[in-house]
């Protein structure tokens, strides 16, 4: 049985999460078995990930809804992989920002 889950991704991370020519997001789809698509940019109020993959509130962040379709197990794996990648990208970007 296939289901659909959504996760909110900050707009500035979407292209990094997708990767050059879709390499990163395709890898996540291949590993998880889920189909992943992004909707158009929206203004969201719930975005920011901590080390436990929970969402904290941030007001007025521009972001994109990432839709994940697959079995519950596939979607769970995709959500985990996406969350881990977002944390990795945020950590990397924070390091770059501190150096400037």
Domains, the chain, with CATH or none: 3-99 (3.30.1370.10)
Residue 67 reports pLDDT greater than 90: yes
Contact 25, 18 (CB under 8 A): yes
The residue ranges of DSSP E strands in the chain, in sequence order, are 3-10, 35-49, 55-70
The pLDDT score that the predictor gives to residue 38 is: 92
Higher pLDDT, 73 or 54: 73
Render pLDDT for 11-65 as a digit per residue (tens, 0 to 9): 889 999 999 999 999 999 999 999 999 987 655 544 444 444 444 445 555 778 8
In the 8-state DSSP scheme, what is residue 67?
E
Q: Residue 80 pLDDT more than 90?
A: yes
Answer whether 38's CB lies under 8 Å from 9's CB. Answer: yes
Q: What is the number of helices (H) and of strands (E) in the chain? A: 3, 3
Helix (H) or strand (E) holding 13: helix 11-18
User: What integer pLDDT is reported at residue 63 of this predicted model?
Assistant: 79
């Amino acid at each position: 049985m296939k289901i659909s889950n959504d996760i909110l991704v900050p707009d500035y991370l979407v292209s990094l999460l997708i990767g050059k020519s879709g390499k990163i997001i395709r890898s996540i789809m291949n590993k998880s078995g889920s189909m992943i698509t992004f909707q158009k940019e929206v203004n969201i109020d719930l975005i920011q990930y901590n080390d436990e993959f929970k969402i904290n509130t941030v007001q007025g962040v521009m972001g994109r809804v990432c839709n994940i379709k697959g079995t519950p197990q596939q979607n769970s794996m995709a959500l985990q992989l996406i969350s881990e990648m977002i944390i990795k990208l945020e950590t990397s970007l924070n390091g770059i920002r501190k150096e400037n």
